[in-house]
Structure 1
């Protein structure tokens, strides 16, 4: 978290809340599954192809329904005050595997073209702010061929197994069609 500019911004807000004297609970998601919409919705809808610099880069996407369930549980049940939860998805998947899950959900193949990091920055910059582009490219580079950290926190706190990316893809198939 120390060098990630987005995490630094979040931490500044957390520090202010901690210093306020109010009770607080922080939920810190790793990679949102919904980031796939930023990255791939338009390419899949438009040309039906995903272009990536590192298709074997791995992430552990978190379904937004799991984040909502965590928030509800921690707000309604005692014992979560002044606690911070870092949440990762239940499985480490390559970007290629994530695209394959989307392809299965929409019922058609989605080819992947490998591109340069420069091209990826340019393309991501069409849908994301520059700071987001740099964070994503840095993470993809670091996680290329390396499993991402996963977590069982959703199940431990909510009592329900975390949703896998394949389920997220089914839930969002209409966004890619």
Structure 2
């Protein structure tokens, strides 16, 4: 904890101005996408550091954010940026208004913008499956890094959380996950590691101007990930390979965008032949090893039942 670096008084006084409270003697940070997979643990991490947090959410009254968080609606952002030292830009939350958001931040004297994109952000757009689900990581990161306000870009690998969406349905029916390309490997990352690196980027000026690729501690094949889940939850789970075409048809029938599925299959095929990217940036920045996939499964054990 570095609380004394950010606040002169851990019990700040507030006054009301247009329904936006102002903290006296304590740094204020604005988080977009505050109720999502990254936003919620980021808010918790910043509060634990002793700073003040304004959290942007479409439903401030029902966001369920931690005590001490100031929830604000998107339309309140122009006022909510007053007195803010650092801004976190979530690419999904800001993709349609990034230029205006950055202009407002500059006008209000925000000292720093931290943007989350993805480890594949420099790849050909057709090689970024998430674009078919509406993500615009490349455009949002470029806007931030070219926007004139000091910045940090955090580029995480695939979230370990994605395994829930891929496999929970199958594991509700049995102990076998069926899918293509069992040899595809990546160093999936725990969402809390992502949030803690982003918090450090907001609080630590030594990271300014960096594009930081962060990953889990080791690359694991798909047919290695499934047995790890089984070890944690106490079931004999296994991965069974099926043809890519069959898997793609099943994914499309289950409602996934056909473009996304095609891009994902192409990525599996392309990257099965390449060494997976693994970095030690989480350990360097946080001073501890990145959480393992087994750690992540343990933290979400109840979600698999």
TM-score normalised to structure 2 length: 0.54
Larger Rg: 2
| Structure 1 stretches lacking a partner, 5+ long | none
- Give a deviation string over 1:31-61, Cα, whole Å, max 9, x none: 2111101111111123332011111221111
Deviation string 1:148-174 (CA, Å, 9 cap, x unpaired) is 121100000111110111111211221
Structure 1 pair 80–57 and aligned structure 2 pair: CA distance change class (3 A): same
Aligned length: 177
In the TM superposition, what whole-angstrom CA distance separates every residue of 1:89-119 from its partner, at most 9, and x where no partner exists? 2101111110011011110112322211112
2:246 aligns to what?
119
Instruction: Evaluate the alpha carbon distance shift between residue 28 and residue 129 of structure 1 in structure 2; reply closer, same or farther with a 3 A threshold.
Output: farther
> Considering only aligned residues, what root-mean-square deviation do their CA atoms show, in Å?
2.0
Shift of 1:123: 2.9
The 1:57/1:22 distance shift into structure 2, 3 A limit, reads same
In structure 1, what is the equivalent of residue 141 of structure 2? Answer: 14
Map residues 93-104 of structure 1 onto 2, 5 A cutoff. Answer: 93-104=220-231
1:71 matched to which residue of 2? 198
- The runs of 4+ residues in structure 1 deviating greater than 4 Å are none
Alignment correspondent of 1:35: 162
Aligned pair 1:174/2:302, yes or no?
A: yes
Name which structure has the greater RCO, CA cutoff 8 Å, separation 6+: 1
SS at match of 1:67: helix
